[in-house]
C-alpha cells in the first residue's frame, strides 16, 4: 500500500485471494480456469475462476428443485446448468426431468436422481473439454442464507436498519442475571 501523490489518498492493491484449501482437484481446476480465462474472450471462464477461488462458506449449495425450476423457465431445455458449489437433493420434488448439470460436488442422492432421469452430471474438467467458452450453459448460484448474514448491516435499533439484533436468550423465564 502507498499514498497516491495526486489525490493524496491511500491506494489499496487489488490482489486476488490465495486459496488455502488442501484439495488438489480444486487447485488443478483453478489452474485450468486461470488458463482458460486468460486465453479465451469468455467472461464465463473468468466468473467460474472467481467463484472457484471463493471460500467454501461463500460457495452456497443449491437444490435439485431450484435447478429444475431454472431449466423449466429456459428457452432451450438442453442447456447445461453450471454450479460452482454443491448440488443437494430435495425430497419434496417428486420427479426430476432430464437435466445436464455441472458442479463441484453432488450429494449421492442428487447424483443418483439426476442420472436415473437420463441426465448427466459433469465435472468442471469435463465441461472445459466439451465447452471451453461456456456457450450453451446457465451459470447458477445457491441462495445466500446464513444466520450470520442476518446480523450484518447498520446497527439494529438505528433508523433504516434491518439488521437482526444479537440477543441473549439466558434471560428467558426470569432465570437470567442473578
Q: What is the pLDDT of residue 9?
A: 75
Which tops the pLDDT comparison, 28 or 176? 28
Grid coordinates belonging to 139: 451459470
Task: Please determine, for residue 136, whether its predicted confidence score (pLDDT) is greater than 70.
Answer: yes
Q: Of the given ranges (119-123, 159-163, 174-178), which has the lowest mean pLDDT? A: 174-178
pLDDT mean over 33-48? 95
pLDDT mean over 69-81? 92
Whether the Cβ atoms of residue 59 and residue 51 lie closer than 8 Å to each other: yes
What does residue 130 show for φ and ψ, rounded to 5 degrees?
-75, -40
Could you read off the pLDDT of 96-122 as tens digits, one per residue? 999 999 999 999 999 999 999 999 999
pLDDT mean over 79-91? 96
Strands 80-88 and 100-106: parallel
pLDDT mean over 6-30? 83
pLDDT mean over 16-33? 91
pLDDT mean over 7-19? 75
Task: Please determine, for residue 81, whether its predicted confidence score (pLDDT) is greater than 90.
Answer: yes
Q: Which of 65, 41, 43, 37 is nearest to 143 (CA)?
A: 65
Which alpha helices (DSSP H) does the chain contain, by range? 24-39, 43-52, 64-73, 108-116, 124-130
Task: Please determine, for residue 175, whether its predicted confidence score (pLDDT) is greater than 80.
Answer: no
Q: What is the pLDDT of residue 3?
A: 60
Sequence-ordered list of residues with C-beta below 8 angstroms from that of 13, at least 6 positions apart, any chain: 1
Q: Which of 15, 13, 42, 45 is nearest to 30 (CA)?
A: 45
pTM: 0.80
Residue 17 vs residues 27, 50, 51, 140, 156: alpha-carbon distances, Å: 13, 9, 11, 21, 31
The proportion of the chain whose per-residue pLDDT surpasses 90, expressed as a percent, equals 72
Which tops the pLDDT comparison, 170 or 43? 43
Amino acid at each position: 500500500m502507498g499514498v497516491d501523490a495526486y489525490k493524496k489518498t491511500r491506494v489499496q492493491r487489488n490482489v486476488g485471494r490465495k486459496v488455502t484449501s488442501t484439495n488438489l482437484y480444486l487447485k488443478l481446476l483453478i489452474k485450468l480456469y486461470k488458463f482458460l480465462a486468460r486465453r479465451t474472450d469468455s467472461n464465463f471462464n473468468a466468473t467460474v475462476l472467481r467463484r472457484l477461488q471463493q471460500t467454501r462458506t461463500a460457495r452456497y449449495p443449491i437444490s435439485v428443485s431450484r435447478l429444475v425450476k431454472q431449466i423449466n423457465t429456459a428457452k432451450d431445455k438442453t442447456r447445461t446448468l453450471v454450479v460452482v458449489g454443491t448440488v443437494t437433493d430435495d425430497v419434496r420434488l417428486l420427479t426430476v426431468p432430464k437435466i445436464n448439470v455441472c458442479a463441484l460436488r453432488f450429494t449421492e442422492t442428487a447424483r443418483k436422481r439426476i442420472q436415473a432421469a437420463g441426465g448427466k452430471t459433469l465435472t468442471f474438467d469435463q465441461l472445459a473439454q466439451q465447452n471451453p467458452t461456456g456457450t450453451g450453459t446457465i451459470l447458477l448460484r445457491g441462495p445466500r442464507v446464513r444466520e450470520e448474514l442476518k446480523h450484518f448491516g447498520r446497527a439494529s435499533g438505528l433508523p433504516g436498519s434491518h439488521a437482526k439484533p444479537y440477543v441473549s436468550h439466558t434471560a428467558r423465564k426470569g432465570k437470567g442475571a442473578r
